[in-house]
Amino acid sequence: MSEAQLQEQFSLFAKFGDSKNNGSTITLKNADKWFKQANVIAKKITTTDTGIAFNKFKSKTMDFPTFLRYLEEFKNKMDPDEIRERLVDCGPPGTAGATQAVKTGGVDRLTDASQYTGAHRERFDADGHGRGRQGREDIRENTGYVGNYKGKDTYDKKH
């Protein structure tokens, strides 16, 4: 484990979910994501501990040298070298464990487009894929009259 690898991971997690961040500073939220992915946050270290330690630095973000000092705050709960090793070994930021679509009970029935009837059936093609605007709107020419109106264009006629 080298400090360069740790700094590279720092940059990746600093940018994760924040398009404006250039990777030079990290927020508490992203540091916690990194700690959770690396299994540093567990029974020994909690998000409360990370929040207290982060607030000791009196800033909403911290650069890499400050982050290294931040890791030293946990030395009474976990060896800082072990923390660094876990942070490097955890890999790039990911969304493992993100919420997946549920396919049980009533949800499965509600998401099966083949069972839709009436006007809702028109929203899907034969494969069950959405048809977009064509499925939601009547694409006929807008004449200004409601459907099936028999007296179209008779309003201005004189008898």
Same domain, 80 and 122: no
Domain count, the chain: 2
pLDDT tens for the chain, residues 1 to 159: 578 888 888 888 888 888 888 889 999 999 999 898 888 888 789 999 999 999 998 889 999 999 999 989 988 888 888 888 988 888 888 766 556 666 666 766 766 777 777 777 777 777 777 777 766 666 667 777 787 788 877 777 765
pLDDT in the model for residue 52: 92
Same domain, 19 and 76: yes
Same domain, 60 and 112: no
Same domain, 79 and 130: no
Q: Whole domain around residue 71: which residue ranges?
A: 3-89
Q: What is the DSSP string of 71-138?
A: HHTTTTTS-HHHHHHHHHHT-S---TT------SHHHHHHT-GGG--HHHHTTB-TTS-B-THHHHS-
Same domain, 10 and 84: yes
pLDDT in the model for residue 90: 86
Same domain, 58 and 25: yes
**Cα 73 from Cα 79, distance rounded (Å):** 10
Question: Which residue has 């009533």 as its token pair?
Answer: 106
Same domain, 77 and 7: yes
pLDDT in the model for residue 107: 67
pLDDT in the model for residue 102: 62
For residue 51, what is the enclosing H or E element?
helix 47-55
Here the CATH number for the domain that contains residue 54 is 1.10.238.10
pLDDT in the model for residue 129: 75
Q: What own/partner pairs with CB < 8 Å and gap ≥ 24 does 81-89 have?
A: 83/38, 83/40, 84/1, 84/6, 85/1, 86/38, 86/39, 86/40, 87/6, 87/9, 87/34, 87/35, 87/38, 87/40, 88/1, 88/5, 88/6, 88/9, 89/1, 89/38
| 41 within 8 A of 47, measured Cβ to Cβ | yes
Same domain, 84 and 110: no
pLDDT in the model for residue 97: 58
pLDDT in the model for residue 134: 67
